[in-house]
């Protein structure tokens, strides 16, 4: 039986507390990828960890993990250490270990189809060409999980998109990146407190964050 089928069966037979959530940021491990567009997911969960005053204190299921509380819910933050294209290995193992279903999962991820600085929240859907999401959907055999997509589209045409997403942000873009991470953190709180639909109504309308 595949991981996805096991999760669906186990979540049906053994309902999981709604107070438990797994929030995963996608990226690549290694300092050389730290401030790159493809690591926006890592940057977003790092922001959440900093705001909660928790550190990445342990490894679990091929991921760095930290447990905290957000909006009255016990939450595990995680950063898969499998590299982006194999993110599903870590996510599937974490869900299996804690007997969670895909509905208990939230994924923070970059999206080159969206302008830098914009957010798009979805409660389900295809990978849209993103290899990290594709790996998760394949491992879980389900696309029924919330994702917060953070715009990483280059402002000018680039010859090599892979080199762009794996290269560092330009210094001129960092203020917009910081504000987008602030908005992503706020969106996570709204999703946990009021649900993804409320968050979609609030954040998906924004063309770009308002910089101060």
Residue appearing with tokens 């969670």: 100
**Got the DSSP string for 148-191?**
EEEEEE-SS--S-HHHHHHSPPPGGGHHHHHHHHHHHHHHHHHH
Q: Which of 125, 126, 148 is nearest to 24 (CA)?
A: 148
Of 34, 38, 130, 189, catalytic: 38
CB 100 within 8 A of CB 109: no
Q: Is 38 a catalytic residue?
A: yes
| Residue 76: C-alpha distances to residues 48, 50, 124 (Å) | 11, 14, 20
CA 163, 143, 118 angle in degrees (round to 5)?
50
Task: DSSP for 81-125, please give it.
Answer: SS-GGGHHHHHHHHHHHTT--GGGEEEEEEEEEEETT-EEEESS-
Specify whether the CB–CB gap between 117 and 209 falls below 8 A.
yes
**Which sequence positions are flagged as catalytic?**
38
């Amino acid at each position: 039986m595949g991981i996805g089928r096991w999760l669906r069966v186990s979540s049906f037979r053994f309902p999981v507390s709604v107070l438990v959530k797994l929030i995963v940021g996608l990226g690549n491990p290694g300092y050389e990828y730290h401030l790159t567009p493809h690591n926006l997911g890592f940057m977003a969960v790092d922001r959440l960890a900093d705001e909660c005053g928790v550190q990445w204190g342990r490894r679990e299921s091929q991921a760095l993990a930290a447990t905290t509380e957000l909006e009255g819910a016990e939450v595990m933050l995680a950063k898969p250490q499998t590299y982006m294209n194999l993110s599903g290995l870590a996510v599937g193992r974490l869900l299996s270990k804690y007997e969670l279903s895909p509905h208990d999962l939230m994924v923070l991820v970059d999206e080159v189809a969206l302008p830098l600085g914009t957010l798009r929240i979805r409660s389900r859907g295809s990978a849209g060409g993103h290899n990290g999401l594709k790996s998760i959907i394949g491992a879980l055999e389900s696309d029924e999980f919330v994702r917060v997509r953070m715009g990483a589209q280059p402002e000018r045409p680039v010859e090599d998109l892979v080199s762009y997403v794996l290269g560092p942000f330009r210094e001129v873009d960092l203020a917009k990146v910081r504000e987008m991470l602030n908005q992503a953190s706020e969106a996570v709180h709204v999703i946990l407190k009021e649900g993804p639909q409320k968050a979609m109504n609030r954040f998906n309308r924004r063309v770009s964050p308002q910089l101060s």
